[in-house]
Amino acid sequence: MKIFCIHGNFQTAKVWQPLEESMKAGFSDLEMITEDLCAKQFQSFDNWTDDFCGRVKAQANGEKSILLGYSLGGRLALHACLSRPDLWKSAIVVGADPGLESEEEKKLQLARDRNWAERLKREPLEKLVDEWDAQPVFGGIENQAPRNLGEMDPQKISQQFLIFSKGIQRNLAPKLAELKNLPILFVSGEKDQKYQVIGEKLAKSFSVINAQVIADAGHRVPWENTESFVQVLIDFAFG
């Protein structure tokens, strides 16, 4: 079974290594394929979605795969689910917003993301990462996900903030009603109130979505409580 994993902002594809080790301990035939959002330059959400789903189809050998996305990667995972639901057995979305509802929210978000993009071109990456980690969404919890600043390209990360901004992303929530046979698990940490609320709202609105809150974790659930997260993922995807 193949599981395709999509990372978040200020992360690389290597961020999934701790989970791969934990999951393969129980599933030796599991193949984790990690998407590297810096490997190519994309022009839009649709451009990435078409490219990604094309690569998934080529690698899947006619079998349905599992999709896992965290934060930005979770938003992209929802795009892939809506574009090609036939490719997926199930999807796990961690701390991701399906989209902003008001134009005012979108304008504010786009302005913030453009500011990050510009600063990434001229300010030290270490300083910006520290500022990123200090955001309220992380609840003051130190980053426990693998991170090597030397492997990060600020110019490419800058492009991600521009191309994949929630300020230009359409609100995907209304489209999720079209997914009739694709189970989606929305995961949030117990210390991440914002995304708990989003998950509960989605689960109440769409029968294919279940919401799961994991104890002893904030926004970066897969790395703050890896053992519980992996167990939840296994129960959902293989149970």
Write down the pLDDT at residue 21.
83
> In this predicted structure, what is the pLDDT of residue 209?
96
Pairing of strands 65-70, 184-189: unpaired
For 89, residues 6+ apart whose C-beta sits below 8 A from its C-beta are 1, 64, 65, 66, 237
Domains of the chain in sequence order: 2-100+171-238 (3.40.50.1820)
CA atoms within 13 A on the CB side of 44: 6
Which residues on neighbouring strands pair with residue 88, listed in sequence order? 65
What is this structure's pTM?
0.96
Point out which residues pair with 4 in neighbouring strands.
33, 67
Please tell me the predicted confidence (pLDDT) of residue 26: 67
Rg over alpha carbons for the chain, rounded to the nearest Å, is 17
Residues 6+ apart with CB under 8 A from 237: 3, 66, 89, 90, 92
143-181 per-position pLDDT tens digit: 999 999 999 999 999 999 999 999 999 999 999 999 999
Give the chain as a DSSP string: -EEEEE--TT--GGGGHHHHHHHHTT-TT-EEEEE-TTSS--SSHHHHHHHHHHHHHHHHTT--EEEEEETHHHHHHHHHHHH-GGGEEEEEEES------SHHHHHHHHHHHHHHHHHHTTS-HHHHHHHHHTSGGGTTPPP-S---GGG--HHHHHHHHHHT-TTTS---GGGGGG-SS--EEEEEETT-HHHHHHHHHHHHH-TTEEEEEESS--S-HHHHSHHHHHHHHHHHHH-
Question: Which tens digits make up the pLDDT trace of 83-92?
Answer: 999 999 999 9
For the chain, list residues with pLDDT below 50.
Answer: none
Query: Helices 154-163 and 103-120 sit at what angle, rounded to 10 degrees?
Result: 170
pLDDT at 213: 98
d(CA 113, CA 105): 12
User: What is the model's pLDDT at position 113?
Assistant: 98
Contact predicate 78/53, CB 8 Å: no
pLDDT score recorded for residue 238: 84
